Amino acid sequence: MKRRVCVVVTARPSYARIRTALAAIAAHPELELQLVVGASALLDRYGNTVKVIEEEGFRVDRKVFMIVEGENPVTSAKSTGLGLAELSTIFDDLQPHVVVTIADRFETIATAIAAAYLNIPLAHVQGGEITGSIDEKVRHAVTKFADVHFVASRPAAERVVRLGERRDRVFVTGCPSIDLAREALARGPLAADAALRWGGVGARVDLAAPYLVVLQHPVTTEWERARMHVEETLRAVDELGLPTLWFWPNVDSGSDGTARGIRAYRERHAVSNVHFFKNVPPEDFIRLLAGARCIVGNSSVAIRECSWLGVPAVNVGGRQAGRDRGANVIDVAYDHAAILGAIRRWTDGPRPPRGEIYGDGNAGRRMADLLARVPLDFEKRLTFEGEG
Amino acid sequence: MKRRVCVVVTARPSYARIRTALAAIAAHPELELQLVVGASALLDRYGNTVKVIEEEGFRVDRKVFMIVEGENPVTSAKSTGLGLAELSTIFDDLQPHVVVTIADRFETIATAIAAAYLNIPLAHVQGGEITGSIDEKVRHAVTKFADVHFVASRPAAERVVRLGERRDRVFVTGCPSIDLAREALARGPLAADAALRWGGVGARVDLAAPYLVVLQHPVTTEWERARMHVEETLRAVDELGLPTLWFWPNVDSGSDGTARGIRAYRERHAVSNVHFFKNVPPEDFIRLLAGARCIVGNSSVAIRECSWLGVPAVNVGGRQAGRDRGANVIDVAYDHAAILGAIRRWTDGPRPPRGEIYGDGNAGRRMADLLARVPLDFEKRLTFEGEG
Amino acid sequence: MKRRVCVVVTARPSYARIRTALAAIAAHPELELQLVVGASALLDRYGNTVKVIEEEGFRVDRKVFMIVEGENPVTSAKSTGLGLAELSTIFDDLQPHVVVTIADRFETIATAIAAAYLNIPLAHVQGGEITGSIDEKVRHAVTKFADVHFVASRPAAERVVRLGERRDRVFVTGCPSIDLAREALARGPLAADAALRWGGVGARVDLAAPYLVVLQHPVTTEWERARMHVEETLRAVDELGLPTLWFWPNVDSGSDGTARGIRAYRERHAVSNVHFFKNVPPEDFIRLLAGARCIVGNSSVAIRECSWLGVPAVNVGGRQAGRDRGANVIDVAYDHAAILGAIRRWTDGPRPPRGEIYGDGNAGRRMADLLARVPLDFEKRLTFEGEG
Amino acid sequence: MKRRVCVVVTARPSYARIRTALAAIAAHPELELQLVVGASALLDRYGNTVKVIEEEGFRVDRKVFMIVEGENPVTSAKSTGLGLAELSTIFDDLQPHVVVTIADRFETIATAIAAAYLNIPLAHVQGGEITGSIDEKVRHAVTKFADVHFVASRPAAERVVRLGERRDRVFVTGCPSIDLAREALARGPLAADAALRWGGVGARVDLAAPYLVVLQHPVTTEWERARMHVEETLRAVDELGLPTLWFWPNVDSGSDGTARGIRAYRERHAVSNVHFFKNVPPEDFIRLLAGARCIVGNSSVAIRECSWLGVPAVNVGGRQAGRDRGANVIDVAYDHAAILGAIRRWTDGPRPPRGEIYGDGNAGRRMADLLARVPLDFEKRLTFEGEG
């Protein structure tokens, strides 16, 4: 009998980070893919990721709405509760042999707890990383619920083991996002007018000329300052004047603050060099990054994919603090002058070398192979390495 | 301004384990106690703990029903989700400075996540212990959500630190359950007919004569075997013939199996020496233990309180595996002959010495003092001791 | 394409009341049965109805836990909310052409609202009846959500039309419970020792000799008095001394009161003539009724099935007030003397004639035929007969 | 003891419709106001109504997030479930003597069911009206849960009585929205530049010159067509060229369709005469209406407030079908030519006379007086007038 592998995808970035694994699971002769799509991945205003998923050929077994509207700390907690209630019914119905959960979102912990209580072995993608904020707590708590760990890097693997997990259940697969970068690079650059296809509002950007990419998320525990934060970046980009593709932040506490910051700035200033997007297909997004002069903001793609792509990054604020990084990242504070200065260092200087800190582009295949042969159990007992 | 300390009590054993801390918090000049009672602590068939709480002089700020009926893995997960949704509304309304959560139940993780998403510092009582089963996953996940740790023993403290928590936020308070044992011992033995006051069904037990106490919980991940397990103990107790006080298990996956096992056995056999209880006031329960010839089952009280009381224990099955224990415990398998043999070793031999492995009886006061002065923050970043 | 008919069964009495319709739908060439089983129908302590359903050959498409434990007004409301959240996901997944909901329970209104918001036509079984209490509000509210009405009697049909429903969507099918009575009567009486098969506790009852049946539900809005109520009946039955089969009440606010009343009485009195059951297969239950000397309590079966069976009934208290009734019913107050007197009038006097006020025993088949051909729409606009 | 009156306000239009009653309840010597604000009334993107409520001097006792994001039929049902679960906890905690629920939204039925199960008498504002769509089912179902009815007009009162409600519990208070119109009229016209205060985007509109107001909600059961519908109105308004104040629709299934329709049209056309708002203070909104040349869309204010104000209305589509209306309304289909023609009939012709079909402007005070003296009970039994 094939092992039923249930993957829960709940957001655009999670999908980007698991897509090659989904394909490898679906293609594996000993695995059966069960795909659950929920949370912001179902919502129009976060880019209708479920449509992209279906267009890329995956069959969605269950869709589950679970976001309580409000984008504040209370509704984040409530959404976790709703997701947990829904996912437990779904897992009970689908009866997977193993559940896969991704990263450190509220849906991730909801997925983890539902699987744990139903005694379904849990594989966690992307544990052992360090970022601060509520994500940090969620990520390591999910590690404690997980039975199998697919981590992106050696340092992450060491941290997961130090957290008391069995070394023989921790696998450095690399991050599947590098897989996408690898595929994308093989296709060559985007057409100059590719941006037209993705909708959005604002300036037309010619992808043949130098351009910036911006992706800046609100910082959960500082949500009232989200507006101020985004305005610093917007001002830097506005002053620089380089054509810019700006991606709308994901659903999370405070994204309203970010959204309002952007709207407020645009009402006061004629921002003529920026186009705002909600979503683009993940592969296009990587090719877009590959061609960018620089990526600005606080997204993990700047550190992860862009390290492998060799794309320079300006990382703003503390959101990525603690994340292992390569030579392509300059860190700055929420300050438009600092941001502008860092961008100029990259646009005026040489590009950084490419690196493999987050993998070699075969993570998805590795995960599928491991899911087919790793022992699946759900009983754990805390032991630390070196203990009797 | 006083620090508002919100304690969430959701079960009879949790109440027993936090009661002296509740009293010390309520009495502390710099603290204000907010008490939320929920889950099985509200339910008649688990002894209506909320009534006991109110009778002992605590004001209950909020009551919250959160158990989805069914007592199986799916409903455990759903109950966690419901609890999370409810508790987030309550915390948002009560605005505590710190939330206290106890042990490793599904309500514990619901409390932890709600506090974490609301950016309320979380104090966790009883982390760092080792038991196996789903409780183990929940306990260590709660540790990763918690900002302050009140642990029962030195080994537990070491484990919490090794899990990546800051040493200056881990406090060996001892277990508050020892506080109760200490108070109880000061009051002397129970009257011979005390058992009459507590209701229940079955044989009358004279507390002046030698008697056993039994407390056996179903083991979550083996719930279909719960019935068989309980019957082994019941048979041993039946064969021994010593007057026995048997306490009904708490709400959890499989307690129906246990309950049915008990009922089925009683229908087939005339069990003349056993009285079955749902609940007794926590202090009476300790005094009852103090006078017992032996405690049988798989409850942690056998290991914790009874160590300090010097009461011999027969620990059945794997539920307490890994828990640090003193000289008062004999471990046996689910086998009526082995259980019977172990009980006889204690009833025929000398009593074990008393021990302080779980504290000296001042845990509650220590916790209140710490809650008044520990720095309250909710930002964590994983670092292991010895790392730069 | 076959019409997909989704029936939601949530309790033992609802199943009894829809079973012949389920069979007729499953057998109908133009219909496909989708069966959702939830709430107390999944729970052991209400007789594990889902097991009976599966043993009788029905495939259960979805199981849904939805009861929040507590058996009080708050948890009834919460359970309705949980049921609504779960059922909307299920209907969205099953995509039925029509949903069938039964009677007037909290699950009934949850089913009705979920179907209405999803724009799925709703058929309601057993509207237009009068009973008082919260059931009354729920029942008529469900009528306002329903698009097709299958009612038990002519007076019920008139009431549904007077409530503003289109006459051409109101069908007097009779009550499917009479179908079961008809089938059961065809099988002849039960064996004298049949009661042994059904488990339960208490006296052995010989079904060949005269016996009583008792079925007494708590009255929702008087739940604290539930205990007192049940004791009056218990005392009457105890004094009469006739062998008695007593059925445990269904899940609802206050059933704990009833349960405690029974337990308390038994602890004080040696009740030697009563056997207590949780559940029997619906057909056996009817055959049991058919052979009873009298039915006592406040169940609608006393009025409905027993009218057709010609079994005398003593109806206690106000729960069935307003329900159309035949010559087989004597109404009494919650008073042991009155109850005893009424039972004796029936046991000492002649049996009443049989009646067809609740149908002729072909309701299930009629419903299936109607579900196959009734226009299915979900848009309504209030009009009263006689209005332009 | 004062009667505690708990009013649940969940949306901008509900607040407008209950505001004078809130003030009268708060001021009444025999009443204590308990105010619960939830659902879209808490959300920024529907105008942050809760802020308006607090600024107008009301103390909010509880805030409750209950909208599951998605704006489709499934999430409407889920939101109802979540609201029900939350409101039952809140009512249990606040212990009101009577709950007041407004109109026919999903929060209305959630409020009604929570009150009914908790045995709290329920007063329903605005029953007996006719509109079609899911609102129609919800409204009459709420009537069946309600114990006291405050209706807007005589025809509505007759319908409520015909639905089987006791005539002595049905009160023609008029609609409180007329109270606001009356207050607003007393203040005279708005300043010419008043619109600047309310934010929003698009053309500046001079309120001293002739202008239109548009308020068009998506129609729940046709949600995929919402986009097409709104574009017809937008095109008519665009072609007319008169300065226009357009109000963003409320949260409901399909409002995303409406929002996208507006955005899509604006991207294709330079709409130079329209300003888009999310929200204005209710009183300003009325004064704005009072000065409008015409109101266009499908809002009930066009029929209700504008009848009393004597403001001409063009009512588009079927959303208000069946609602009693005065001489100020022209009905048209979703067709830009028809809409344009109807607007021109009003802008080129005489204004209609004012009418009192929806009250005289004292509804709020009447409701408060009735809430202080109406018998409060929660037991109903269906009887129709003229029945024995």
List the single residue in D45, D78, D256 with the smallest CB-CB distance to A65. D78
- For B215-226, the pLDDT digits (tens) are 998 775 455 677
Beta carbons of A68 and D66 less than 8 Å apart? yes
Q: What's the mean pLDDT in B313-332?
A: 90
Q: Say if residue C194 is in the same domain as residue C154.
A: no
Q: Say if residue C194 is in the same domain as residue C298.
A: yes
Confidence of residue A224 (pLDDT cuts 50, 70, 90): low
| pLDDT value at D317 more than 60 | yes
Whether A332 is in a domain gets the answer: yes
Q: Who wins on pLDDT, B66 or A269? A: B66
Beta carbons of C81 and D82 less than 8 Å apart? yes
Q: What's the mean pLDDT in C119-143?
A: 93
Task: Report yes or no: A221 at the C interface, CB cutoff 8 Å.
Answer: no
Task: Report yes or no: C360 at the B interface, CB cutoff 8 Å.
Answer: no
Residue D195 tokens read as 């619109």
**Are residues D149 and D143 in contact, defined by beta-carbon separation less than 8 angstroms?**
yes
Q: Say if residue C247 is in the same domain as residue C368.
A: no
Task: Report yes or no: A94 at the B interface, CB cutoff 8 Å.
Answer: no
Q: Who wins on pLDDT, B262 or D39? A: D39
Q: Compute the Cα dihedral for C52, C55, C56, C60 and give only its sign.
A: positive
CB pairs under 8 A between C and D: 155
pLDDT reported for residue D250: 59
Task: Report yes or no: D66 at the B interface, CB cutoff 8 Å.
Answer: no
Confidence of residue D224 (pLDDT cuts 50, 70, 90): low
pLDDT reported for residue D196: 76
Beta carbons of C66 and B67 less than 8 Å apart? no
Give me the residues of C, 13-42, that contact B with CB < 8 A. 42
Q: Say if residue B18 is in the same domain as residue B131.
A: yes
**Are residues A134 and A221 in contact, defined by beta-carbon separation less than 8 angstroms?**
yes
Task: Report yes or no: A93 at the C interface, CB cutoff 8 Å.
Answer: yes
CATH number at residue B163: 3.40.50.2000
Q: Who wins on pLDDT, B36 or C222? A: B36
Whether D387 is in a domain gets the answer: no
| Total domains present in chain B | 2
Burial of A334 (0-12, 13-18, 19+ CB in 10 A): buried
List the single range of B276-280, C255-259, D321-325, D368-372 with lowest mean pLDDT: C255-259
Beta carbons of C89 and A85 less than 8 Å apart? no
B-contacting chains (≥3 CB pairs under 8 Å)? A, C, D
Secondary structure percentages of chain A, helix, strand, coil, to 5:
45, 15, 35
Whether A357 is in a domain gets the answer: no
Confidence of residue D220 (pLDDT cuts 50, 70, 90): low
Beta carbons of B137 and A159 less than 8 Å apart? no
Q: If you average pLDDT over every residue of chain D, what do you get? A: 90
Beta carbons of D67 and A65 less than 8 Å apart? no
- For B111-165, the pLDDT digits (tens) are 999 999 999 999 999 999 987 778 899 999 999 999 999 999 999 999 999 999 9
pLDDT reported for residue C71: 87
Confidence of residue D255 (pLDDT cuts 50, 70, 90): low
List the single residue in C43, C256, C260 with the smallest CB-CB distance to B69. C43
Beta carbons of A89 and C86 less than 8 Å apart? yes
Closest residue in D to B61 (Cα) is D93
Confidence of residue A188 (pLDDT cuts 50, 70, 90): confident
- For A238-277, the pLDDT digits (tens) are 999 999 999 877 544 445 677 777 877 887 888 889 998 8
Q: Say if residue C22 is in the same domain as residue C96.
A: yes
Contacting residues of B for D89, CB less than 8 Å apart: 64-65, 86, 89
**Are residues C20 and C252 in contact, defined by beta-carbon separation less than 8 angstroms?**
no
**Are residues B17 and B126 in contact, defined by beta-carbon separation less than 8 angstroms?**
yes
Whether B250 is in a domain gets the answer: yes
User: Which helix (DSSP H) or strand (DSSP E) does residue C62 occupy?
Assistant: strand C62-64
**Are residues B148 and B378 in contact, defined by beta-carbon separation less than 8 angstroms?**
no
Beta carbons of D89 and B89 less than 8 Å apart? yes
Q: Say if residue D277 is in the same domain as residue D342.
A: yes
Beta carbons of C82 and B74 less than 8 Å apart? no
- For C44-90, the pLDDT digits (tens) are 888 889 999 999 999 999 999 999 999 899 999 999 999 999 999 99
Contacting residues of A for C92, CB less than 8 Å apart: 63
Closest residue in A to D256 (Cα) is A44
Q: Identify the domain containing residue A74 by its residue range.
A: 3-174+362-373
Q: How far is B185 from chain C (nearest CA, A)?
A: 33
pLDDT reported for residue D385: 83
Q: Who wins on pLDDT, A12 or B311? A: B311
Q: Say if residue D166 is in the same domain as residue D194.
A: no
Whether A183 is in a domain gets the answer: no
- For C193-246, the pLDDT digits (tens) are 877 788 888 888 888 889 999 999 887 545 567 788 888 999 999 999 999 999
CB pairs under 8 A between A and B: 155
Whether A353 is in a domain gets the answer: no
CB atoms within 10 A of CB C182: 19
pLDDT reported for residue B59: 97
Q: Say if residue D279 is in the same domain as residue D323.
A: yes
Report how far residue A79's alpha carbon sits from residue A16's, in angstroms, rounded to the nearest whole number.
22
| DSSP code for C201 | E
Q: What's the mean pLDDT in D92-114?
A: 96
pLDDT reported for residue D324: 86
Beta carbons of A86 and C89 less than 8 Å apart? yes
For the ranges C249-253, C283-287, C357-361, the maximum mean pLDDT occurs at C357-361
Closest residue in A to C89 (Cα) is A64
Give me the residues of B, 178-207, that contact D with CB < 8 A. none
Q: Say if residue C263 is in the same domain as residue C319.
A: yes
**Are residues B55 and C82 in contact, defined by beta-carbon separation less than 8 angstroms?**
no
Q: How far is D69 from chain A (nearest CA, A)?
A: 5
Percent of residues, chain C, with pLDDT higher than 70: 96
Beta carbons of C68 and B78 less than 8 Å apart? no
Residue A62 tokens read as 């269950």
Q: Say if residue A146 is in the same domain as residue A231.
A: no
Instruction: Name every residue whose Cβ is closer than 8 Å to that of residue A57 and which is 6 or more positions away in sequence.
Output: none
Residue D316 tokens read as 């588009």
Q: Say if residue B78 is in the same domain as residue B214.
A: no
Give me the residues of B, 267-326, that contact A with CB < 8 A. 321-322
Interface test with B, best of D36, D42, D93 (most B CBs within 10 A): D93
List the single range of A260-264, A310-314, D113-117, D176-180 with lowest mean pLDDT: A260-264
Report how far residue A48's alpha carbon sits from residue A60's, in angstroms, rounded to the nearest whole number.
14
Interface test with B, best of D66, D89, D91 (most B CBs within 10 A): D89
Report how far residue D335's alpha carbon sits from residue D82's, in angstroms, rounded to the nearest whole number.
38
Contacting residues of C for D83, CB less than 8 Å apart: 81
**Are residues C137 and C187 in contact, defined by beta-carbon separation less than 8 angstroms?**
no
Contacting residues of A for C93, CB less than 8 Å apart: 62
Give me the residues of C, 71-90, that contact D with CB < 8 A. 73-74, 76-78, 80-89
| pLDDT value at C388 more than 80 | no
Q: Say if residue C207 is in the same domain as residue C308.
A: yes
Lookup result for tokens 């991207």: D267
pLDDT reported for residue C49: 93
Whether D104 is in a domain gets the answer: yes
Task: Report yes or no: B62 at the D interface, CB cutoff 8 Å.
Answer: yes
Whether D382 is in a domain gets the answer: no
Residue B175 tokens read as 């277990």
Q: How far is A138 from chain B (nearest CA, A)?
A: 7
